[in-house]
Structure 1
Amino acid sequence: MRAIMAGVGVLALCSTLAVAQDAPKSLLPPGFDDPAPTPAPAAGPAPRPSAAPAPNASSAPSAPGTTSVPVVQPLPSAPAATVRAPELPAGLPSLRELESLDPDELDELLGLKPKFDIPPAARRSLDRVGFLAGAEGGLPAQSLANQPGSIVRAALVGTREPLVSRWGHILLRRALASRLAAPAGMRPVEFAALRAGLLNRIGEHGAARSLVQEVDTSNWNKGLTNVALDAYIGTADVVGACPAVRLQGGERKDPEWTMLQAICDAYAGQGVRANSNLNRALSRQIAPDIDVLLAQRYAGAAGRGRRAVNLEWDRVEGMTPWRFALASAVGAEIPEKLLVNAGPYYERVSATAPMLALPQRAGGAGRAAGEGILSSAAMVDLYSQIYSAEGIEGPEAVTASLLREAYVGDGPLARMTAIRSVWGDGAGVDYAKMVLTAYAAARMPASDEFEADAPKLIASMLTAGLDRNAMRWAPVVAEGSEGWALLALAQPTGANPVSSGAVDDFIDDDASSQQRKSRFLVAGLAGLGRLEQGVAADLSSQLSVNLNRQTKWSRLIDQAAAVENQPLVAYLAAVGMQGNGWDKMTARHLYHIVSALNRVGLSAEARMIAAEAVARG
């Protein structure tokens, strides 16, 4: 009995284990292995018997005493489930539209285009934009923060051409490059774009490039991008524009932008893509052939995929900044006929292009020095290189030899003779030549032997701001002479008013057109406060000049001076100094400019501008 009961127990245990094995407990989280409950079938007619299927693993009967396992695989006689194609998200283009997209548009669509090129920790603030800090000579940073943006915008947009004054240009460049907060109601990026655009218009492409580089490329708007490209092309730094070109992708569709994209692709290591795009541009004639060919040669200089590109200038009828920049960068020789009457722009950019030949740079340096783009020291450096280089002949080489003699000649007379030769024998002296001889003139002893040369020597020294050197000639020059007039304006301190008798003597001897020099002298002395009010009024009436007449511009610059706002006074002064010659300048404008600059603490610039007006009037 005991054995029988033991056997029954074993059978019961085995039966229990068999049931447990038929329904094992899942170790997966709920929802991963349990199928959704199947609803009970609706009542209906009993199914008809069908032929028994062939025996297989899925239809084999269960063993006696065990639970049957449900069949997962559908029976062959059951209809197959309909498989639907996945639906694309709304807004995506079709396959045909994708094939028509260019690579940049495709990158942007797929989210592959970069959003910034500077890591977050290195990004710069827009609170103050500029590359000239206050400790480096920049103007006060918060000067414009509370000024109306409309006035600043009007002043910057209203200055459309270079200034007549060299010292006015120097002051404006300083004011535009200063690290300043944006005025009220104006965004910092717009403020930077307006300043960079004005720097481009006055020929300061290098300063404009430095200014736009103070703003992270990811913050550029369309206006800043456009003026930045002008700056990069003006400096022949085409690759410098690539961060903006690659970040903004297809923002622009013009031919220049398309060629820039290909060039930037080449310098990013995508030579095949660059060649393909430029070949397409050439075949579609999106631009004149010479422009695309120059882009191909420039792009071909990147990497190892270089190829010969023949530049054909025969059918080219004019010069453009794009052609000049790329041709200068790749060392291509531009036909002389295209540069003879190309315009002042190409003289300015030639003077500061280090890749050009020295004689070509010297050809444009005269205009650049006269306008204030090049300093006297930069001019001396340029002609020193010409003197040291071998094989250079022509007027530039002669001037370089004379300049060396002006510095190291044997005795004052030999040096003075050389300086006169640099100036030339004509009646009028090229002001750029005075800039070139500024430091040589400062080395001349103040002697009665050279009294006839004193006005030109003084004017030459003042082009470089050497006012204290110029004041050594005060005992030599006669009262009422042009040399005296220049010193009366340029002297650092003017405690004693200038006598009216000396001014009368100057007016009597003035042979300038419409007595322009006399008018400028009276306006400059009155603006500096070196004439008594009654004397200034009498002299102005004598010269038929009304210094007190007010206009909207004069009221604005006077109000800016009343609150001692240096940048705004500088911007408004530039508005009043536009023109291609001093005959476009009026004594009334000069008076308000000199007076405003003097009141806001820019007396050095005021004195130099007033003296320059008399020297060049």
Structure 2
Amino acid sequence: MARWKWLGGAAIALSATLAFAQDAPESLLPPGFDDPAPAPTPAPRPSAQPVPGAPPVAGGAVVQPLPGSMAPIPGLSDFDFSTVPSAEELEKMSPDELDELLGLRPSNDLPPAARRAMSRVGVIDSTEGGLYSNSLARQPSALVRAILKGLQGPVVSRWGHILLRRALSSRLATPEGMDPVEFAALRAQALNRMGEYAAARALLQDVDSGNWNDAMIGAGLEAYLATTDIIGTCPVVRLKGPERDDPQWTMLRAICNAYAGEGVLAGSQLDRALRTELAPRIDVLLAQRLAGAAGSGRRAVDLEWDDVEELNPWRFALANAVGAEIPENLRVGASPYYERVWAITPMAPLTQRAAVADRAAREGIFSSRAVIDLYSQIYADETITGEAADIATQLREAYVGADPQARLSAMEELWGGDVASDYGRYVLTAYAAARMPASADYADAAPALLASMLAAGLDRDAAAWSRVVEPGSMGWALVTLASVRSNGMASGDAIDSFIDDDDSSDERRSRLLLAGLAGLGRISSGDLGTYSQRVSLNLGRETRWTRTIERAADVDNRALVALLAGLGMQGEGWQRMTPLHLYHTVSALRRVGLEAEARMIAAEAIARG
């Protein structure tokens, strides 16, 4: 009876539903617009087949086969379960290590929308004074690669250094057939080798961390250490962590873990490095001191320098980063690398920076304003005494002395005589020299004053001395080469006088003068031939480098000429600059529109020759 009652209730409900549907308003939409598509007819499911050997179940279906009848899972029998970490090992793993174990390590640390293209990489755009972005795009990749690899050290010319830094830092498109990452890495490596670590770091920061290769990582670590930016390496170190296992990289991973909030892990990693002697003890202690400065996990670390016999970039960078004083025995006699790096390290003591400022100034790493700012800080600090304080006082007198003679006397004190013993001192006094009146009363000091002005590119101030200097004198040569607008060809009588008075070895300064004048187009071909015979000068000799830079100038490729000019001016001393290289460098730069740089390099040759 209950069954019939249920069927009766269902019939009544169905009748009510039909009646409601008949009373509903008619749809105004076109036919088929709101009609749901008919559901697809489900495919017939295959019936379960009994597994051979398994007992049948009621109804003929097999709920689950017995263990003895299970088919093997593909690949599982070959898996080595001994490689699976234990629970304790998993607990000690960092997130990076777990991601690597599980295959979850990201290949990029930026979302797709935030990633930057590598069509143009660099720091200085053409609208900001950089070189034209497509300058090297159609140049042979083999040629560009050879030039960049050939830039192995500093440039003898201050102005050549400045030009090369500008070319390497420009926002440039990659040459055809070259990987953009390789192009950026080669440029960063060249900047590092010439001591421009801050520029190299800025260039590398224009490339997303996910695109870095081994060469970029190597150049980046060198640049970041030289600029004491240890934590700046962390984005790359954490992203590329498992790809390297050298001691320095391992310690960097621990430091970056500490600054990512994983202080306990970082401490255990560095303790293990100290225990296993992964690196020299002082290197690990410095890493522990820096890692301990992160978060609340600080602990005392005593630095032990007693047995340390040499300085290296790691020790230099981490000691500066944690504010530890480097012992004097390690500072004295340090290589030129440390002189260049010390000068640009803002956390280093001012007196130590001043002690190496001359090198940075003469090589072009420091601008005139930068070295003046350094001594201004020293002058403002009344606690500083000694040589640095004396130089700062003399420099102030050179600028604000009561009369020109007092200012000149102060400059000569800084130079160490009538002529500067170090070209860096000319850079220091450049703007003070420009304030001197162009008067015959100071004609004897004109060569030094002009050399100082031109060290900072103050060519218009130097031109005011053209009516003061004696034709054929040193001052005349500087003004003639540096002048923005030459008054035609150089006077033959003046050139004669210059050669007659030249007391340099093998008439080197006269040969450089002729090479500079010829490169600037300020001497007639007849006079050049005559005087070349007189001083045994041969500017017609060809080399592979001279042919290449001349071809680059023929096609008006400014970036290629700048790189080749830097390639031809490499060396530690100005004596490495030959008249032949000077001529082709100045000539090529002038032809591609870099006449200002050409004039300054030609004048620098006379001042330093």
Structure-2 separation of matches of 1:97 and 1:482: 79
1:276–1:530 distance in 2 versus 1, CA, 3 Å: same
1:517-528 equivalence runs, <5 A: 517-528=509-520
Which of 462, 472, 497 is the matching residue for 1:470?
462
Which amino acid in structure 2 is aligned with residue 127 of structure 1? S
The higher radius of gyration belongs to: 1
Check if 1:594 corresponds to 2:586: yes
> How many angstroms apart in 1 are the aligned matches of 2:77 and 2:186?
41
Instruction: Read off the aligned partner of 1:353 and give its amino acid letter.
Output: T
Instruction: Tell me the CA shift for residue 36 of structure 1.
Output: 2.6
| Ranges in structure 2 where 5+ consecutive residues have no aligned partner | 9-40
Tell me the CA shift for residue 114 of structure 1: 2.5
Does structure 1 retain, via aligned residues, the 8 Å contact 2:182–2:215? yes
Aligned amino acid, residue 225 of structure 1:
I
Provide the residue aligned with 1:409 in structure 2.
Answer: 401
Q: Unpaired segments of 5 or more residues in structure 1?
A: 1-9, 18-28, 43-57, 59-68
Question: Over aligned residues, Cα RMSD in angstroms?
Answer: 2.9
Per mean C-alpha deviation after superposition, the further-off stretch among 428-437 and 192-201 is: 428-437
Which amino acid counterpart does residue 569 of structure 2 have in structure 1?
M
Equivalent pair of 2:420/2:448 in contact (CA under 8 Å): no
Partner of 1:229: 221
Which of residues 234, 238, 245 is equivalent to 1:246? 238
Structure 1 91/492 Cα, relative in aligned 2: closer, same or farther at 3 Å? farther
CA contact (8 A) 2:50 2:61 kept: no
Match of 2:210 among 211, 218, 225: 218
Residue 284 of structure 1: CA displacement?
1.1
Structure 1 residues 509 and 31: alpha-carbon distance in aligned structure 2, compared to 1, 3 A threshold: same
CA distance in 2, matches of 1:576, 1:33: 80
Describe the shift of the 1:33–1:140 C-alpha distance in structure 2 as closer, same or farther (beyond 3 A): closer
Assess if the C-alpha contact under 8 Å between 1:233 and 1:322 holds in 2: yes
Work out whether 1:94 is the aligned partner of 2:86. Answer: no
1:193 aligns with 2:182: no
Counting only pairs closer than 5 Å after superposition, residues 287-436 of structure 1 correspond to structure 2 as: 287-425=279-417, 428-436=420-428
Segment of structure 1 superposing worse, 502-511 or 33-42 = 33-42
Q: Label 1:36 to 1:82 Cα distance change in 2 as closer, same or farther (>3 A).
A: closer
Q: Partners in 2 of 1:547 and 1:41 — Cα distance?
A: 99
CA contact (8 A) 1:98 1:106 kept: no
Contact 2:532 2:538 in 1 (8 A): yes
User: 2:118 and 2:173 mapped to 1: Cα distance?
Assistant: 8
- Fraction of identical pairs, as percent: 57
How far 1:131 moved relative to its partner? 0.9
Letter paired with 1:306:
R
Measured at CA, do residues 490 and 91 of structure 1 come closer, stay the same or move farther in structure 2, by a change above 3 Å?
A: farther
Structure 1 SS opposite 2:496: helix
Cα displacement string for residues 334-390 of structure 1 (whole angstroms, at most 9, x for unaligned residues): 111111111001011111111111111111211100100000000111100000012
Matched, 1:503 2:515: no
Aligned to 1:36: 48
- 2:112 aligned to 101, 109, 120, which one? 120
The one-letter code matched in structure 2 to 1:36 is: A
Shift of 1:493: 1.4
Q: Deviations over 1:411-448 (max 9, x none)?
A: 11111111111111376531111100000111111111
Q: Which whole-Å CA distance do the structure 2 matches of 1:261 and 1:316 have between them? A: 24
The 1-side partners of 2:84 and 2:152 are apart by: 45
Q: Secondary structure at the match of 2:120?
A: coil
User: In structure 2, how many angstroms separate the alpha carbons of the residues matched to 1:457 and 1:529?
Assistant: 25
Q: Could you tell me how far apart the structure 2 residues matched to 1:570 and 1:355 are?
A: 34
Counterpart position of 2:15: none
Residue equivalent to 2:20: none
Distance 1:608 1:411, change over 3 A: same
Tell me, in whole angstroms, the C-alpha distance in 2 between the residues paired with 1:11 and 1:604.
109
- CA deviation profile, 1:163-192 (whole Å, cap 9, x unmatched): 110000000000000001111211111111
Match of 1:172 among 157, 160, 164: 164
- Which amino acid is the alignment partner of residue 287 of structure 1? A
Amino acid at match of 1:452: D
| SS of corresponding position for 1:318 | coil
2:83 corresponds to which letter in structure 1?
R
- Partners in 2 of 1:372 and 1:288 — Cα distance? 35
2:484 is aligned to: 492
How many residue pairs match? The answer is 569
The separation in 2 between residues aligned to 1:454 and 1:595, in whole angstroms, is 27
Shift of residue 86, structure 1, vs aligned partner: 6.9
Q: Tell me the SS of whatever aligns to 1:474.
A: helix
Q: Distance in 2 between matches of 1:92 and 1:342?
A: 56
Q: What is the 5 A alignment of 1:21-60?
A: 36=48
